[in-house]
Structure 1
């Protein structure tokens, strides 16, 4: 570990010593500033402070080290990057410079519109319709994506329940049933959400759905029996 740490520090020192004094033009800044899609639910924001290039990623601000006219190193990501354009699609990308083959061009992080929002951003803004739309697109491409795991939404929903934000909890649990329609757990959670709002009919309907998918759900069975006995 000490050797690796020493090599990393040595490499960073070499980069700092070899970096060029590059003056970015205003045109270059305007063309490259903006948001780049790191993955299906995460963006990198590129911006400038004077002649310094910064990246904002996962709520952290990172100042880059310029190593060429269109090359810079980001220590926090431990990546050397540059801006490229796909000659066919004309789409712009933030591209990783490969250590093994520096001449190869890869299209890693697509430049998106300045007003682009990830599904999780919409979720935080309580725009559940837009959030669901985005998560469904993720599911179309990868049904096992970590960004649509049912337990993630369940945790959010129950946090809303604990905070007495019952309508928000129901919205999250509903979203989960659409994303995972064959899971008994998501209907059980939606039943809990409706029960917290006082909507016993919808609670019953969802507990029933959960029980149909999993007859070992004793709690759902108890509620169903009590409700039907009324």
Structure 2
């Protein structure tokens, strides 16, 4: 608590002697979206040459200028340093709580989106590529947990967004091709869409991997008896 109070006081003292205005070159170089984590963005923008951020639903976060390249963000309780080499990115200033880890947020290319943003824009192939890239870099990343994506797909089903449900189930299938549950979910998705032909196909695939999958057994039996 004392360390936090000291940091806040220090930032206030420094900022009181530092103009909050930024140069045009700095504004042009740093404005944009930064990949905060595998599927989340921190956006930097300027109003009257003063730095602001958009993050987690807050579109007007004011950043406290500490030096020409470093800014304090209260919502993170972190000092962010803008580094231009080798390419523009943000690094968090080292502190004890980081336990020696260097936190870096790379600036995204113009038009680049997160997998979730691609999905919401119905750019499903780009979303799939994004999710596969996350898995390639970090197979344990919580963004791509099978259960998380499965839950998202069933939320779409409950809202009768059948195409979105099927697409997210397809992404899950690409990520976890050996799991019977991803095929079972696709069966449920196609069944909800009243596409019984594909529903039967995916229930069959489910049972080929796990003959004891009770949902697939019940659904397959009912569909093939009709």
Q: Does the TM-score normalized on the shorter chain lie above 0.5? A: yes
Q: CA deviation at 1:194?
A: 0.7
Unmatched tracts of structure 2, length 5 or more: 97-101
Alignment root-mean-square deviation, CA = 2.1
Equivalents in 2 of 1:28, 1:222: separation in Å? 62
Matched with 2:114 is 118
Which among 107, 128, 132 is matched to residue 132 of structure 1?
A: 128
- Partner of 1:181, secondary structure, is coil
Structure 2 residue corresponding to 1:187, chosen from 177, 183, 192: 183
Distance 1:48 1:139 in 2: 34
Partner deviation per Cα, 1:115-159 (whole Å, 9 max, x = no partner): 221001112222222111110111111222211112222222212
- How many matched pairs? 219
Instruction: Report if the CA contact (8 A) 2:184-2:215 is conserved.
Output: no
Structure 1 position 189, deviation (Å): 0.8
Please report how far the alpha carbon of residue 229 of structure 1 lies from its aligned counterpart in structure 2 after TM superposition: 4.0
- 1:196 corresponds to which of 180, 183, 192: 192
Aligned to 2:38: 40
Alpha-carbon displacement from aligned partner over 1:71-97 (angstroms, at most 9, x marks no partner): 2111111111221122xxx31111222
CA deviation vs aligned residue, 1:170-226 (integer Å, no higher than 9, x gap): 222122111111111111111001111111121111111112222221231123334
Any stretches of 5+ residues in structure 1 without a counterpart? 101-105
Give the match's secondary structure for 2:33.
strand
Question: Shift of the alpha carbon at 1:65?
Answer: 0.9
Distance (Å, rounded) in 1 between the aligned partners of 2:103 and 2:6: 29
Scaled by the length of structure 1, the TM-score of the pair is 0.86
What TM-score, normalized by structure 2, do the two folds share? 0.88
**101, 105, 113: which is aligned to 1:109?**
105
